[in-house]
Amino acid sequence: MRTLFPIALILLSVGVFFWLIQPNRAEIARLNGVREDLARAAERARELQEVQDKLLAEDQKISDTEREDIVKLLPDNVDNVRLIIDIDGLAARYSARVKNVEVTTGSASDSSSAALATGPEQYGSIGLAFTVSTTYENFLDFLKDLERSLRLVDVTALTFASSKKDQYEYNVSIKTYWLK
């Protein structure tokens, strides 16, 4: 009887281990894994919150004039009239006027940059063709001003013809972009 009682206790403890403790250990291990996943997610959320706070602080540092410059560089809508007025204002500095204006709409996918786009188009493009009559030197200065203007503009075509002595008719085609 002395040996039977310890053996029964050992068998009982082995049985309790396999029927009660072992299934709970697996559940505890699974819950520990879930807890670690949640802790990693909470840490990542905290990191993202810090990044958001930094970005908001940087956003607050941008002045209103800088914001206007950014919107002028890449507007969020198409404003053909404003674009034509801006270009005409540039031409007026050199005693020239913009005439024969033609506007063509397009999208980012019809340009050579479509190979760079990996997702949905985030910007659109608009083409503008116009004629300017001025001297060669004034036209070069006009193009330099157009290049340096805040509006993002690509000159896509340029032709010219002589109309009078030292006066040329320049047919200019440009493409400008806007955010969708």
Q: How does pLDDT run across 79-113, given as a tens digit for each residue?
A: 778 888 888 998 999 888 889 999 887 654 444 44
CATH of the domain at 103: 3.30.70.60
Give the closest residue to 10 by CA, choosing from 18, 149, 101: 18
Is residue 69, in this structure, part of any structural domain at all?
A: no
For residue 107, what pLDDT is reported? 52
pTM above 0.85, yes or no: no
Dihedral sign from CA coordinates of 138, 144, 147, 150:
negative
Split into its structural domains, the chain has a count of 2
Domain holding 33, by residue range, is 1-61
Burial (CB < 10 A; 0-12, 13-18, 19+), residue 36, is exposed
Residues 13 and 80 in one domain: no
Tell me, yes or no, whether 68 lies in a domain: no
Q: Say what the pLDDT of residue 108 is.
A: 47
Q: Report DSSP state, residue 25.
A: H
Residue 54 lies in a domain: yes
90/48 same-domain check: no
